[in-house]
Chains A and B, each alone.
Chain A
Amino acid sequence: MGKQVRVSGCKAVAEAVKAANVDVIASYPIRPYTGTMVELARMVAEGELDAEFVHAEGEHAQLSVVLGASAAGARVFTGSAGVGVTYAFEVYSPTSGEFHPVQCMIANRTLDPPGDFGSEHTEAMATRDQGWIMGWAASPQEAYDNTLIYYRLGEDPRVMLPQFPCQDGYFVSHISGPVELADPGQVKEFLPEFRPARALDPRRPVIMGPQCHADQGAAIELGRAEAMRNAREIIPQVYDEFARIFGRRYDPFLEEYKTDDAEVVFFGQGAHTVPARLAADRLRAQGLKVGVVQLRFMRPFPTDAVAERLARFKVVGIIENSNSFGSAFDAGPLTAEVHASLYYAENRPQILTFLAGLGGENIRLGAYGEMARAMHAAAQAGRVGDGAGHVGEGAGRVGGGKHVFWLGFEPLGDAGVEHVAASEDGDGGSDGEGGGW
């Protein structure tokens, strides 16, 4: 068993990068991820980690440096946040499209505006369609583990995709938590040396990223799509291996908390699922059967797991920590993906979305209570299937009830009140227990 330490999410990642014996690191400063690079710079300077530490001239260059290094056969690491993530955007697709399994941590930060230092998932979510593996850690330990897990997954010959292990800025990046560091033997077993099948090696010449004719393009896109599908298939095996070697077992796709008898669940990723658990405990003391479901991977999105496992709840309350202006339901990407995943499910829960923590605002514990009560009221009131959510009723409304809320700006009670009223009128369907769920 490895050494126990208390470190922040940023430092935890640096420790994992060292454990992974990374060869090339590319840096550029931006809060709140900078702490990882500061720590890595120290490790390299003091000889704890043998790596080339390249001071890139910006995030676009960071990503380009690690792309080149990975193409030449090195295991590489870089990271960013906020506008840094969007500044590098051009390089994301070539990285995945040419199958360079680079790792770029993101410690989330708002874009400009609002230009504060707060954490928000929007910048990472903006990259979600670039062919990168992506998911969130909720604690420094998860941040540490994700770095190792993502290398293993991304470097699998059936995958060979780059990875964005994300962590919420400040909430994870800057708050210390207990972390068990792996011992080298464990890491060696879990994460074999990176030996790509093709690299820029003059002894075996290859051409990487050539142009193609338009009728050759679709096949290339299919290759990347297949790699992502392979990742989804392999993820459970990687987590099994991880549990066997390190003794920590995670659910590969959806971490559930107190869901056995839950009627309503918070659904989210990363740090906000932590206070959600605390809130669930407290709300349970008040008699509300609340659980929490933590999404591990945004990419690949676990459609089947979401469809199968969310179907058993009456209400799913999405904690939506990023914006997608003008998207379906005027919410964010999580809302769209959860709805899409549930479309073919036989039993569909009601879905409420809470746009929460935007701009880095803290979601207070009390707010979880309000959200849970709104979910509970919705659970009492209606169910999907009673003419709910039909096209034509106006986006953002289920059963005539509003279901997307800007936390702190709109009274959450509305969801409940409208649904409860409907139920009292007798056209709202089930009153809960055994009502055809």
Chain B
Amino acid sequence: MPETIKWLGSEAPTEVRIEGYQEIKNVKDAPDVEYYVPGHRTCAGCGPALAYRLTALASGKNTIFAGPTGCMYVANTSYLCGPWAVPWIHTQITNGGAVISGIEASYKAMIRKKKYDGEFPNIICFAGDGGSADIGLQALSGCMYRGHDVLFICYDNESYANTGIQTSPMTPYGAHTTFTPPGPVVPEGKKTFPKDLLKMVAAGHPAVKYLATASIAYPVDLMNKVRKALAHKGPTFMHIHAPCPKGWAFESSKTLDIGKLAVDTGMWTLYEIVNGQVKVNYAPRRRKPVAEYVQAQGRFGHLTPEMTERLQAFVDSKLAELGLLVPIPAV
């Protein structure tokens, strides 16, 4: 398995350099000042809430968050208050990318015109998969294209969760959502395969030099990626896998296990794209079959072996693209 591979036809790979960020060596080394604090009503075991907490730990005090409508808005701010110890602004589910563009433009102008004497802040949009890959895609694309110095994070709970778990373009094939109920006419529930959001952002937005996937099950990796993204001047993008016990139908104590299983089965991969070069961060030695992931979640409860095979084939093709197609050991 190659450490880095050439991808997306990028020519003469430039050296990958993301400097000036303070690396977190291990969990104990993580900062102990929290900027996403208790006092919200997300579900027990909520993956996105953990992603928020880790992101805020990594980004620190000089940060502004924008939060498009979704669970991380509604469940966090239900009673006119919110769990952030840094500035936070609600955006529509549609326009997170545009609102952070404006915040960034404002700071650029105000610092230049001496109306603001603080340091240029970290500006982060923390959007759901709906607010990133679907109804928010236009604003995300506009923001990444224009080259604003911001970080756009898609926390991916693989559904429109806040409205009661409906399918989004990130919902996996075969998942039961309230808009894709399996039935005799549609036995698999969700019929289509998800978009590849990171690839879309990477391939179509030359201003974006740093992109990364992450998972709440790998917190140190996640926090370091946030720091790298913020250290880079210019638009950066992260796609964070964030299991949702309510929407995926698993025990709320199992969020990290499900996150790990996703990586071990190849349903999720951890990698970065820096200056057009892909760097895989973690490749499981022994890949587990997708069936194991499927069996652990109620949303796939109706899948037949054939359907699970289709999902496996899809995962294999994605892994092949990353040069990660290691064989699954026989059980």
A, B co-complexed: yes
Chain A window 168-193, contacts with chain B (Cβ cutoff 8 Å), 1 for yes, 0 for no: 00000000000000000000000001
- Nearest CB of chain A from residue B142's CB, rounded to whole Å: 3
Chain A window 244-265, contacts with chain B (Cβ cutoff 8 Å), 1 for yes, 0 for no: 0000000000000000000000
Known contacts A52-B108, A57-B139, A210 near B92 by CB under 8 Å: no
Chain A contacts for B103, CB-based, 8 A? 68-69, 71-72, 200
- Nearest CB of chain A from residue B193's CB, rounded to whole Å: 27
Interface residue B177 (Cβ < 8 Å from any Cβ of A)? no
Interface residue A208 (Cβ < 8 Å from any Cβ of B)? yes
Chain A window 185-206, contacts with chain B (Cβ cutoff 8 Å), 1 for yes, 0 for no: 0000000010000001111011
CB <8 Å contact, B109 and A51 = yes
CB <8 Å contact, B106 and A61 = no
CB <8 Å contact, A65 and B98 = yes
- Nearest CB of chain B from residue A282's CB, rounded to whole Å: 50
Chain B window 83-122, contacts with chain A (Cβ cutoff 8 Å), 1 for yes, 0 for no: 0111111111011011111110111111011011010010
CA distance A98 to B77 in the complex (A): 15
Chain B contacts with A in 114-149, Cβ cutoff 8 A: 115-116, 118, 121, 138-139, 141-142, 145-146
- For A56, A69, A203, the residue with the greatest tally of chain B CB atoms inside 10 Å of its CB is A69
Chain A contacts for B274, CB-based, 8 A? none
Chain A contacts for B112, CB-based, 8 A? 50
Interface residue A394 (Cβ < 8 Å from any Cβ of B)? no
CA distance A60 to B82 in the complex (A): 26
CB <8 Å contact, B64 and A202 = yes
- Nearest CB of chain A from residue B36's CB, rounded to whole Å: 12
Chain B's closest residue to A199 (CB) is B87
CA distance A91 to B92 in the complex (A): 8
Interface residue A64 (Cβ < 8 Å from any Cβ of B)? yes
Interface residue A54 (Cβ < 8 Å from any Cβ of B)? yes
Known contacts A54-B105, A57-B138, A60-B94, A208 near B99 by CB under 8 Å: no
Interface residue B81 (Cβ < 8 Å from any Cβ of A)? yes
CB <8 Å contact, B95 and A201 = no
- For A50, A57, A67, A73, the residue with the greatest tally of chain B CB atoms inside 10 Å of its CB is A57
Chain B contacts with A in 56-80, Cβ cutoff 8 A: 61-64, 66, 73-74, 77-80
- For B90, B101, B121, the residue with the greatest tally of chain A CB atoms inside 10 Å of its CB is B101
Chain B contacts for A71, CB-based, 8 A? 89, 99, 102-103, 106
CB <8 Å contact, B79 and A202 = no
CB <8 Å contact, B95 and A60 = yes
CB <8 Å contact, A73 and B92 = no
Chain A contacts for B141, CB-based, 8 A? 57
CB <8 Å contact, B82 and A207 = yes
CA distance A56 to B143 in the complex (A): 9
Chain A's closest residue to B99 (CB) is A68
Interface residues of chain A, those whose CB is within 8 Å of chain B, are 23-24, 26, 50-52, 54-58, 60-62, 64-74, 76, 90-91, 94, 98, 193, 200-203, 205-213, 216
Could you list 11 further interchain pairs (A-B, Cβ under 8 angstroms) beyond the known A54-B105, A71-B102, A72-B106? A50-B109, A52-B109, A56-B98, A57-B138, A57-B142, A65-B101, A66-B102, A71-B103, A73-B115, A98-B89, A208-B87
